[in-house]
Every structure is written in C-alpha cells, then in structure tokens.
C-alpha cells in the first residue's frame, strides 16, 4: 500500500480561539478584537509549535523529538 500524503486543515487551540475572536470582532464591529483574532489565526497557520495547521502538514514532525514532550 502506498502512503498518501495530502494537506490537512487543522487548527490548534490558538487557531480556534482566533477564529472565535475574529468572528466576534466582525459581529460587534470591534476592529481591535478582529485584529487580535486574525493575528492568532495567522500564527496558528505559520508556527508549528502551536500545534495547528503548520504542525499537521510539516513532514517528519511526528518523528522528531520535541522539547515540549518529555521522553
């Protein structure tokens, strides 16, 4: 069987919280709240250490030991 690797959409706790703040900021028309939410979503997409989208799609991230996981 061949291993099929595709892009997965996954958000960690920072990304989910960011989406909530982004939507809340848009609904309440608060630019600062929406900007903080957008910043959290972008961080979740680009920083693998947050455990979101970038960590899910980074090759070999599950095989490498992490500083946060005790051996």
Concatenated DSSP letters of 27-50? HHT-HHHHHHHHHHHHHHHH-GGG
The pTM of this model reads: 0.62
pLDDT per residue as tens digits for the range 11-62: 778 888 999 999 999 999 999 999 999 998 888 888 767 666 666 666 654 5
Q: What is the dihedral of CA 7, 17, 55, 70, to 10 degrees?
A: -150
What's the pLDDT score for residue 15?
Answer: 83
- The residue count of the chain comes to 71
Place of tokens 């980074």: 58
């Amino acid at each position: 069987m061949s291993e099929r690797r595709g892009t997965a959409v996954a958000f960690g706790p920072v990304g989910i919280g960011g989406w909530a703040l982004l939507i809340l900021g848009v609904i309440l028309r608060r630019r600062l709240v929406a900007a903080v939410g957008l910043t959290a979503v972008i961080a979740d997409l680009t920083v693998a250490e947050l455990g979101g989208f970038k960590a899910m799609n980074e090759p070999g991230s599950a095989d490498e030991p992490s500083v946060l996981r005790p051996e």
